[in-house]
Structure 1
């Protein structure tokens, strides 16, 4: 008599039905197997967590789909790039002289002195702003009453 192998869906016991467990088994087998690394080409990529994969050979860490390293739409786009099927659209964009939007990069690294200076700077409080708005509204009301009296 041969040994019975335990499957990934054995943890569900008699729950959820056969068809659901078969689909789940297929997804989980693909998810747990080793995948091919896009950088080094070896079959050493493992799933670390949702959408994060790491190659055990070259230690490349990259993001992919939730269960697989490459999603269906990502593979379609990769094929388009390989076949250069996007060139007509690209030439149309180049002909239209569309200027790319360039945003300046903010300097995130601040020295300790700059951090202290930024904390010491006075910022206008909301209370002062409300008081000035109330005073302006009173002035407007007072000015509106004076022409009616005359």
Structure 2
């Protein structure tokens, strides 16, 4: 079994939120400890908006996995996710068109580091078909971005 490290990153640059702060109940119950509290966090759609930004800016297949699994298991709103993505991108003085994002995804489909990134993070015996994630983005998210579709290779 491969030993993994957990790296926690906290942004010290972004001091804003778009959809407001939410409170969620949190409970821990095990043989050593029991407790419950309320925790403050961002709206899941805002978190996924930043995850979409990470997918565009990084070469980590885990970002595609996270978006795909969240869409399949949580009550998320692609329009809110795209809205938050756009706000976070604009705070960086950037604009990303639909065509740019689609080309970026196309390049990731043939990137070995991108495709292999998620494998050591999945539990043993669990497989993830990245094509389902790419399909989700192309069908549910890309049409919501500004601009025309990418006119390059659609394979």
The TM-score normalised by the length of structure 2 is: 0.18
Higher relative contact order (CA 8 A, sep 6+): 2
Larger radius of gyration: 1
